């Protein structure tokens, strides 16, 4: 008998299009019928259905079925960028910038059309490398996104991916760099009308100091947020992310 990753009664629509920016087919799956839009990124170099296969969608089914959350899950760009050792770093950075263009100029209008709200500011979430994308997507454009739940992430590409390289594509996609100098309306939105959770464990393969570093940056800019450090038993793995996400949706009233 096939594994049932989600309740068969859960509304699910697979859609997508060929992104003119990326030159790639970019699928998107949505779950639910109403509620706050939530954009979910996969880990590492995975696809738009990874979070369903690892039961993260199942973990928040009650929130979706209750009409509190409408979930959208997309592909990662990592297989074509940061995790492809054969691509030069400047090209990786260019592809990252194009990925953000796809999200901001193509995906956001799509989500707003689906939910019937031209001003909707979706929340973002993801675990591991997905947390980086969730945080970067939100912090770059708080006019388009209303908050983030970043789980077990890192927020500085410089440590493992840049080898000392920098350009505008890197700078404007590396929260550890651009948050320090953020001002104007974007900073006002982050300070006054955003919901930010940075959550991590302290067990095997977790890197809680990366979350603490991001928290310190936010503190320095006067940006309210919740740094939630879980215990030393909390591993960098799906069973814990399946606890973190519904817990923090609940805390947000979703």
pTM beyond 0.85, yes or no = yes
Q: Is the dihedral of CA 78, 83, 20, 146 positive or negative?
A: positive
Domain boundaries defined on the chain? 12-251
Q: What pLDDT digit, counting tens, does each position of 142-176 carry?
A: 999 999 999 999 999 998 999 999 999 999 999 99
Q: CATH number of the domain at 12-251, out of 2.30.30.230, 3.40.50.300, 3.40.50.2000, 3.40.50.1820?
A: 3.40.50.1820
User: What is the pLDDT, as a whole number, of residue 2?
Assistant: 79
pLDDT for 13 equals: 98
Strand, coil or helix: what is 196?
Answer: strand
- Contact criterion met (CB below 8 Å) for 80 and 155: no
pLDDT tens string 199-239? 999 999 999 999 999 999 999 999 999 999 999 999 999 99
Coil vs helix vs strand at 125: strand
The model's pLDDT over 99-144, given as tens digits with 9 standing for 90+, comes to 999 999 999 999 999 999 999 999 999 999 999 999 999 999 999 9
Give me the chain's average pLDDT, please.
Answer: 97
Report the C-alpha gap between 171 and 179 in whole angstroms: 10
Using alpha carbons, list the distances in angstroms from residue 57 to 35, 43, 99: 15, 14, 23
């Amino acid at each position: 008998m096939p594994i049932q990753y989600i309740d068969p009664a859960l509304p699910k629509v697979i859609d997508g299009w060929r992104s003119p920016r990326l030159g790639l087919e970019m699928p998107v799956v949505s779950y639910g019928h109403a509620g706050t839009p939530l954009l979910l990124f996969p880990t590492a170099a995975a696809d738009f259905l990874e979070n369903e296969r690892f039961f993260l969608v199942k973990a928040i089914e009650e929130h979706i079925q209750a009409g509190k959350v409408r979930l959208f899950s997309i592909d990662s760009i990592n297989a074509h960028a940061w995790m492809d050792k054969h691509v030069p770093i400047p090209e990786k950075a260019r592809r990252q910038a194009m990925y953000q263009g796809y999200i901001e100029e193509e995906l956001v209008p799509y989500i707003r059309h689906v939910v019937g709200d031209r001003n909707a500011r979706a929340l973002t979430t993801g675990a591991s490398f997905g947390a980086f994308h969730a945080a970067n997507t939100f912090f770059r454009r708080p006019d388009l996104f209303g908050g983030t739940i970043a789980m077990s992430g890192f927020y500085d590409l410089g440590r493992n991916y840049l080898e000392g390289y920098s350009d505008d594509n890197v700078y404007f996609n590396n929260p550890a760099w651009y948050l320090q100098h953020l001002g104007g309306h974007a900073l006002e939105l982050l300070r006054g009308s955003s919901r930010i959770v940075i959550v991590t464990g302290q067990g095997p393969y977790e890197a809680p100091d990366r979350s603490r570093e991001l928290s310190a940056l936010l503190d320095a800019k006067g940006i309210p947020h919740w740094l939630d450090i879980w215990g030393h038993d909390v591993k960098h793995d799906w069973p814990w992310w399946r606890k973190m996400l519904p817990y923090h949706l609940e805390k947000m009233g979703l």
